[in-house]
Structure 1
Amino acid sequence: MNTSPIPAVRCHAQNDVLVIEIHNPPINAGALEVRRGLLQAVESLECTPEWQAAVIIGAGATFMAGSDLKEFGKPLEDPQLPAVIAAIEACSKPIVAAIHGAALGGGFELALGCDARVADEKAVVGLPEVTLGMIPGAGGTQRLTRRVGIARAIGLICAGTRVPTLEASRLGLIDHIAQGDLRTSAVQFARQLQGRKCRVAEETVPQESPQQIQKAQEAALRAGRQRPPVVAAIEAIKAAATQPIAQALQAEREVFNRLRLGAEAHALRHLFFAERQAMKPSVDDAPRPFSRIAVIGAGTMGSGIAIASLDAGLPVLLMEQDDAALERGLQRVRDHYAQRVSQGKISVEAATEREARLSGATDWQRLGDADVVIEAVFEELAVKQAVFRQIDLHAKAGAVLATNTSYLDIDAIASVTRRPGDVIGLHFFSPANVMKLLEVVRGRETSPDVLATGMALGKQLHKMAVPCGNAFGFIGNRIYDAYRRQCEYMLEDGAWPEDVDRALQDFGFAMGPFAVADMSGLDIAWRMRRARAATRDPRERYVDVLDHLCERGRMGRKTGAGYYCYTDGKASTASDEAVRGLIVDASVRRGVARRPVLPEEITRRVMLTMVNEAAWLLAEGVALRATDIDVVLVHGYGFPRWEGGPVHWARQQPRSALQCDMEFLVQASGHGARLGNISLLLDV
């Protein structure tokens, strides 16, 4: 029995052209065995007179969709990718990259090191290293810049843009688009290059005005929030025009090695793997087939869900209770596509095709054709139950019945139907056609194939679908609710709203909790609080500042005042005397002597609160995996990606200090606060 490993790189000759094939499924990552195999193949090409050129191609569905990220947290073994690319450039015979699927990161750097690039029409290329906390480390900043110029290279590299074949060809990143079989086309192209070498590294950087470069740099720094990888990438790209190639390549590699071992890259790699784990099926059952979607409720959320479904190629029925409301919803969708066309984001033909798949109705009988019915009406249990009674009467047998709810009990909604096994929660985030997160909530009786269908639908809608159990707030809002309460406690302790918001923005959140509350509308939280008032333990620590703001008509941005005041839509930089008076009154009633609350304390209390609630979510089975919690917080709640999520943050803290601080925090949070078992998060 032959137990020898299958080689990661296999070679065979097509007459005078050597075909070098990468075999490292599923994405042909540039792992050590791949690098060794490529280097050996290039050496064989050089010393074999019969072979006059070579083609590098990937087996399976892709060329090389990146390096092996699992190697990046430890010392890299030789040969490293720069050595492989140097051998390709030093080889006296031309080597062509044949690209299908994706050539990303090290895969695209490998392709740029070849003498030419041939791609099929569906390929994508790009350098996403900055989004992983690094910079390209095998010549990407130098060779890409020599093809597209400094300004465009800054835009592409700092955003980690994936460039499709046609655009890549226009930019000079692809030399030939294969019309038929990619391998055949690449071999023919390689024969045409016989006797010639075309090294991108020897090209000169295109001339640009200083203004173009400055504009691109400012835009990249703004979009990248001046994170270290963005700053470093810009410096490396600009060096292409000022330093000899060998010096620039060495400097690039040194920066790459420093950043890949840093905390930011470590956090982003953690998140990269967490995202892929979250998207894996959590049940073995196959999803039910679906091809038609019905969305009930044509408001902002329902219209957004409809747009996301149309963008995914699905026919959509949008339903409302009367013709006027339906027409407003349909017009929202039409306006969206008209805006996309005017911005040049999609063609007129694409917009027309998507709108043609949209229909509207007020007649419940029309539900009978839908494979998945998504309810997106007012966030009130009685209202949703009334809708589900109608859905139960009119939806066909086997249809998946989904509720878009942020907090409500899925089982209570399913209980009014005769088929609770068909009911699932699909918690979209607003705007639903933009936000990537989708919590897929399983009820007590949800059938496994229905859960699988929810996950499959999320994937088709290009969402980050995360499975979770049925509990108040699910994963995200459960943690956000605890986080918000802790921030309110800090108001009573001595902070002002702007102190809290500023500290958390400085940590990396897109917005602080009080600015978010004003933007969402304080009446939403107020309504939820009143609904839960009867079950609230009077001994629980409860801050009523928001309640008093709403009683005074300060509902946030939409009323011109909330925690902050708004003039012409612009927020004041600090809370006013009315808000401060309510906060001081709350402190007095609590018997709290107000004191300065420093940014470091604000940030740590928030993080400890998130970690504690995460431990409970895992213990209760609401979250399937600890890393799912990080995915939810990053994609739905503005948690900074470069911190990896609250679970990753906790794993970087000294365990004894973390435990001690959490015990103190729970004690300070008052009656009913519970200490979670953090070992569930840390012991992995």
Structure 2
Amino acid sequence: MSVVVRYTEQGAVGIITLDNPPINASSQTVREQLKAILDSVRAQPQGIRVLMLQGAGGSFMAGADIREFELDFIPLPDPNDIHGLLESMPVPVVAAMHGHVLGGGLEMALACHYRVAHSGTQFGLPEVKLGVLPGSGGTQRLPRLLGFPLAMELIVSGKSLPAAQALKLGLLDAEFDDDWQEQALEFCISVADKNASHPMLSRLPAVLSDKDKAGLSEKIDELPAADQGGYAMREAARCVLEAAQYDFATGLARERLAFLRCKETNESKALRHAFFAQREAARIPGLNTANLALRSISKVGVIGAGTMGTGIAMSFANAGIAVVLQDLNAQTLERAQQQIHHVYQGSVTKQRLTQAQALQRINAISLTLEDTQLADCDLIIEAVFENFDIKKAIFKRLGEVAKPTAILASNTSSLDVNVLAECSGRPADVLGMHFFSPAHIMRLLEVVRGDHTAPEVLATIMSLAKRIGKVAAVSGVCFGFIGNRMLEGYLRETEFLLLEGATPAFIDKALENFGMAMGPCRMIDMAGVDVAAKVVLEQKKAGQLGADEAYRVAVQRLFELGRHGQKSGLGYYRYEGRNAVEDPAVLEVFKALAKQHDIAQRKDITADEVVQRCLYPLIAEGYRILEEGIAYRAGDIDVVWLHGYGFPAYRGGPMFYAQTLGEQHIRAQMLELAASRGNRFAYWDVPPSLGV
């Protein structure tokens, strides 16, 4: 067994160091070794007057080993037993913290007599983001230390606190700067002779007035419903309130039972799946990155200074990477410059950046009309609108302009990356980098591997994605890649439902009640009806639409009518500022299209029908993507939909949701829809791997 907890002494200070890389996660082995040290010190203090608990590496302790959540029991020694040992030590225990102190790490720190930290430390109890609650005393100790309203807010939201705020609120006893370890030792010596009785244990039971209790109960009522991602939040809030109703030991026992209930829910299983899927998506099967020489990326070029290109440029500037933003239109460049200033000054106003930081990011982006200014860039990303001919011409030009070691990427959302790669004359250097709008905010990056993309190019971009704070998932080449290919069936049924008589608001509400961050009609209005229509028109131009003349006619007609969405004030809705309002005129458009294409309108469409008809084709396409090897894993598909399309995290992504429903159930429902609606155009064909 490797040593993950070490004990040393420095004068009268006993120093316990947690050394379980990469994040010092609490695990059975960590707890076993920590218990052995605490038992030894308790039995033979030998002049030790204070204990200092610290972490090696980058953090004090950034949480628990989540793999233990999959077990039916808590591996011994129980975290509560360790925390009880810390509280009852005969000498004061000081948690000296740095990096991240999250989940079980903060629960352990709360059991120490004193807490000090480096000024850059972050603190939090993010368990609800995994569908559970702090299960080792967090809901019982934190309200006794910070009071109930603040403790409940931190636990239910899962938000983290910086050290300065933690000190102000009373979570910390002291905050130190760069020489924090020496200062922490001095602090330990200063408290060495103080009473070792734990200050929080003297606050039992915790006190909560009737007025405060009523106020907190109202806040609980405002949380999401238990079956809509709010189960863990509600259980956590209830446990916080119980800190005022029960003695400490009873509160701990009830908290533990609530934790065990939470981790068995579909919500928790889905959120844990999403957690692991995100990490797995960064690993490329068969690619040994240790043996690859990654290309250096210190300067990035972006072609196209529209909304997307400007957002991409800011994504790199935010990471301290120099950017050249190039466009042939001077007015477009001027608008881009104004947008860049607007975004960063807004961050200053909201105190997310200092003025100096904002200027540093603004100055990292240079603008030019000349593509020759891209010649020394290490990575060049094409981000013009979806016109295949224009993109092909750009890649032909990049093959001439870019330096030999440069990586060439397209931000296309649907077009054939292999064709663009061939146009460049250097296909090994080419791949897709599909950002999502707004690119400087949205976390997803679809990395599209071409047939000839060099392994080191793919590995370099996956590493770069992490550097710029993106969640990356790899897709093979096909129309729409992973996300937009699956979106086609979703939008197809949305449009058919509109022609059959459902309103945009009814469809959006049904899918938002399911958990989608935004319904499809609002989503297209925000992204741009013109953008969505041009994708369909490019498909039509390439002969890819098939024989159904009614396919996606709604978005094409709205585009023809100049209803381009939120930016034009008219789309699927009419806009009063940013507020979407039902527009009777657009319903007449859909009614006319229905008559033109001999589609009967009806009034019996239900919310359940909307959800099934929109989601089942999406899920089915996911299975086809796996069958074709476009995605490496089902989890990669879930990552794309969770981070790029607003699929509810508490449902785990479309592929995990399919497992929750049962593949046989989805298969049966699709066959029933095929029988009831007809299947002339194979819309309801079931993939071979679904439900077999």
5 Å-filtered alignment, 1:107-122, equals 107-122=105-120
Deviates more, 1:125-134 or 1:668-677: 668-677
**Matched residue, 1:623:** 631
**Matched residue, 2:62:** 65
5 Å-filtered alignment, 1:407-556, equals 407-492=414-499, 495-534=502-541, 535=543, 536-539=545-548, 542-556=551-565
Alpha-carbon contact 1:388-1:417 (below 8 Å) kept: yes
Shift of 1:438: 0.5
**Matched residue, 2:200:** 201
Deviation string 1:113-170 (CA, Å, 9 cap, x unpaired) is 1112233344322111111112212222333334433333333323322333343333
Question: 1:405 is paired with a residue of what secondary structure?
Answer: coil
Judging changes above 3 Å, is the alpha-carbon distance between structure 1 residues 555 and 462 closer, same or farther for their aligned structure 2 residues? Answer: same
**Matched residue, 2:42:** 46
Alpha-carbon contact 1:492-1:543 (below 8 Å) kept: no
Which of residues 269, 272, 278 is equivalent to 2:272? Answer: 269
Question: 2:445 is paired with a residue of what secondary structure?
Answer: strand
Shift of 1:415: 2.1
Question: 2:423 is paired with a residue of what secondary structure?
Answer: coil
Alpha-carbon contact 2:220-2:237 (below 8 Å) kept: no
Deviates more, 1:639-648 or 1:659-668: 659-668
Q: Please tell me whether residue 670 in structure 1 is matched to residue 669 in structure 2.
A: no
- Matched residue type, 1:150: F
Deviates more, 1:435-444 or 1:96-105: 96-105
- Matched residue type, 2:687: G
2: CA distance, partners of 1:583 / 1:69: 52
1: CA distance, partners of 2:360 / 2:528: 35
Shift of 1:400: 1.0
Deviation string 1:285-324 (CA, Å, 9 cap, x unpaired) is 3421111112222221111111111110111112121333
Deviation string 1:540-573 (CA, Å, 9 cap, x unpaired) is 762523333333333333343333333444223x
2: CA distance, partners of 1:363 / 1:55: 60
5 Å-filtered alignment, 1:300-449, equals 300-449=307-456
Shift of 1:190: 3.0
Deviates more, 1:327-336 or 1:583-592: 583-592
1: CA distance, partners of 2:26 / 2:91: 23
Shift of 1:212: 13
Deviates more, 1:522-531 or 1:408-417: 522-531
Shift of 1:584: 7.2
2: CA distance, partners of 1:333 / 1:220: 40
Deviates more, 1:190-199 or 1:383-392: 190-199
- Matched residue type, 1:235: R
TM-score, normalised relative to structure 2: 0.90
Deviation string 1:206-226 (CA, Å, 9 cap, x unpaired) is 999979995997599579987
Shift of 1:526: 2.1
Judging changes above 3 Å, is the alpha-carbon distance between structure 1 residues 84 and 356 closer, same or farther for their aligned structure 2 residues? Answer: same
Judging changes above 3 Å, is the alpha-carbon distance between structure 1 residues 630 and 183 closer, same or farther for their aligned structure 2 residues? Answer: same
Alpha-carbon contact 1:377-1:384 (below 8 Å) kept: yes
2: CA distance, partners of 1:262 / 1:29: 23
Deviates more, 1:326-335 or 1:24-33: 24-33
Shift of 1:351: 1.1
Q: Please tell me whether residue 164 in structure 1 is matched to residue 181 in structure 2.
A: no
- Matched residue type, 1:635: H
**Matched residue, 2:138:** 140
Question: 1:607 is paired with a residue of what secondary structure?
Answer: helix
Alpha-carbon contact 2:386-2:535 (below 8 Å) kept: no
- Matched residue type, 2:326: M
Alpha-carbon contact 1:469-1:621 (below 8 Å) kept: yes
Judging changes above 3 Å, is the alpha-carbon distance between structure 1 residues 179 and 575 closer, same or farther for their aligned structure 2 residues? Answer: closer
Deviation string 1:600-631 (CA, Å, 9 cap, x unpaired) is 23223333222211111111121111100001
Shift of 1:633: 0.3
Shift of 1:468: 1.1
TM-score, normalised relative to structure 1: 0.91
Shift of 1:427: 0.6
Judging changes above 3 Å, is the alpha-carbon distance between structure 1 residues 335 and 582 closer, same or farther for their aligned structure 2 residues? Answer: closer
Question: 2:687 is paired with a residue of what secondary structure?
Answer: coil
Q: Please tell me whether residue 150 in structure 1 is matched to residue 148 in structure 2.
A: yes
Judging changes above 3 Å, is the alpha-carbon distance between structure 1 residues 339 and 273 closer, same or farther for their aligned structure 2 residues? Answer: same
Deviates more, 1:262-271 or 1:496-505: 496-505
Alpha-carbon contact 1:408-1:472 (below 8 Å) kept: yes
Structure 1, unmatched stretches of 5+, are none
- Matched residue type, 1:618: L
Judging changes above 3 Å, is the alpha-carbon distance between structure 1 residues 566 and 324 closer, same or farther for their aligned structure 2 residues? Answer: closer
Judging changes above 3 Å, is the alpha-carbon distance between structure 1 residues 516 and 212 closer, same or farther for their aligned structure 2 residues? Answer: farther
2: CA distance, partners of 1:564 / 1:331: 28
2: CA distance, partners of 1:666 / 1:457: 44
**Matched residue, 1:647:** 655
Deviates more, 1:195-204 or 1:125-134: 195-204
- Matched residue type, 1:619: E
Percent identity over the alignment is 36
Which of residues 75, 78, 89 is equivalent to 1:77? Answer: 75
Structure 2, unmatched stretches of 5+, are none
Alpha-carbon contact 1:540-1:671 (below 8 Å) kept: no
Deviates more, 1:443-452 or 1:239-248: 239-248
Deviation string 1:457-481 (CA, Å, 9 cap, x unpaired) is 2111100011111111111111111
Alpha-carbon contact 2:430-2:450 (below 8 Å) kept: yes
Judging changes above 3 Å, is the alpha-carbon distance between structure 1 residues 244 and 565 closer, same or farther for their aligned structure 2 residues? Answer: same
Deviates more, 1:485-494 or 1:337-346: 485-494
Shift of 1:247: 4.1
**Matched residue, 1:55:** 52
**Matched residue, 1:37:** 33
Q: Please tell me whether residue 253 in structure 1 is matched to residue 261 in structure 2.
A: no
Question: 1:425 is paired with a residue of what secondary structure?
Answer: strand
- Matched residue type, 2:160: R
Judging changes above 3 Å, is the alpha-carbon distance between structure 1 residues 325 and 599 closer, same or farther for their aligned structure 2 residues? Answer: closer
2: CA distance, partners of 1:523 / 1:180: 53
Shift of 1:650: 1.4
Question: 1:110 is paired with a residue of what secondary structure?
Answer: helix
1: CA distance, partners of 2:335 / 2:224: 34
Question: 2:604 is paired with a residue of what secondary structure?
Answer: coil
Shift of 1:639: 0.3
Deviation string 1:468-497 (CA, Å, 9 cap, x unpaired) is 111111111111112111233344556443
Alpha-carbon contact 1:495-1:596 (below 8 Å) kept: no
Alpha-carbon contact 2:88-2:198 (below 8 Å) kept: no
2: CA distance, partners of 1:150 / 1:12: 38
Question: 1:652 is paired with a residue of what secondary structure?
Answer: helix
2: CA distance, partners of 1:510 / 1:544: 25
2: CA distance, partners of 1:216 / 1:335: 41
1: CA distance, partners of 2:332 / 2:578: 27
Question: 1:359 is paired with a residue of what secondary structure?
Answer: strand
- Matched residue type, 1:466: A
- Matched residue type, 1:462: G
2: CA distance, partners of 1:608 / 1:513: 15
Alpha-carbon contact 1:438-1:465 (below 8 Å) kept: yes
Question: 2:375 is paired with a residue of what secondary structure?
Answer: helix
Judging changes above 3 Å, is the alpha-carbon distance between structure 1 residues 624 and 17 closer, same or farther for their aligned structure 2 residues? Answer: same
**Matched residue, 2:640:** 632
2: CA distance, partners of 1:29 / 1:423: 39
- Matched residue type, 2:67: K
Question: 2:412 is paired with a residue of what secondary structure?
Answer: coil
